[in-house]
Amino acid sequence: MLNITKLRNQLDYNPETGVFKWRETGSGRRKDLVAGCVKSKRNDRNVWCRIVFDGQEYTSGQLAWALMTGEFPDFIIDHIDQDPLNDKWSNLRRGDACVDQRNNKKSIRNKTGVVGVKFHKTSSKYHAFIGAGGKQKYLGSSDDFFEAVCMRKRAEIEYKYSPNHGL
Beta bridge partners of 39: 48
Residue 166 in this model has a pLDDT that exceeds 90: no
The answer as to whether 166 is a domain residue is no
Q: Is 12 left (phi over 0), alpha (psi -120 to 50) or beta?
A: beta
Is the pLDDT score of 103 beyond 80? Answer: no
Same domain, residue pair 39 and 120: no
What is the number of domains present in the chain?
2
Over residues 109-114, the mean pLDDT reads: 76
Instruction: Please indicate, yes or no, whether residues 53 and 81 belong to a single structural domain of this protein.
Output: yes
Lowest mean pLDDT among 10-19, 80-89, 92-101: 92-101
Given a cut of 80, whether residue 74 has pLDDT beyond it is: yes
Same domain, 27 and 81: yes
18 and 66 within one domain: yes
User: 15 with 71, same domain?
Assistant: yes
Residue 163 resides in a domain: no
Residue 73 has pLDDT above 80, yes or no: yes
Q: What is the CATH number of the domain that holds 84?
A: 3.90.75
Residues 83 and 110 reside in one and the same domain: no
Q: Tell me the sheet residues that pair with 49.
A: 38
Distance CA 81, CA 18 (A): 13
Q: Are residues 89 and 8 in the same domain?
A: yes
C-alpha to C-alpha distance for 68 and 73, rounded to whole angstroms: 11
The Cα–Cα gap between 37 and 74 comes to: 22
pLDDT value at position 55?
A: 86
User: What mean pLDDT value characterizes the chain?
Assistant: 84
- Tens-digit pLDDT profile for residues 15-72: 999 999 999 888 778 898 999 888 877 655 677 899 999 889 999 999 999 999 999 9
125 and 52 fall within a common domain:
no
Strand ranges in 11-83 using DSSP code E only, listed in sequence order: 11-14, 19-22, 37-40, 47-53, 56-59, 76-79
Residue that wins the pLDDT comparison between 63 and 102: 63
Share of the chain above pLDDT 90, in %: 42
Within this chain, do residues 128 and 55 fall inside the same structural domain, yes or no?
no
pLDDT at 160 over 60: yes
Q: How far, in Å, CA of 162 to CA of 81, rounded?
A: 9
Q: Which domain holds residue 62?
A: 4-95
Q: Is the pLDDT of residue 124 over 60?
A: yes
Domain assignment present for 37: yes
Give kind and range of the element (H or E) at residue 114: none
Residue 54: its pLDDT value, please? 87
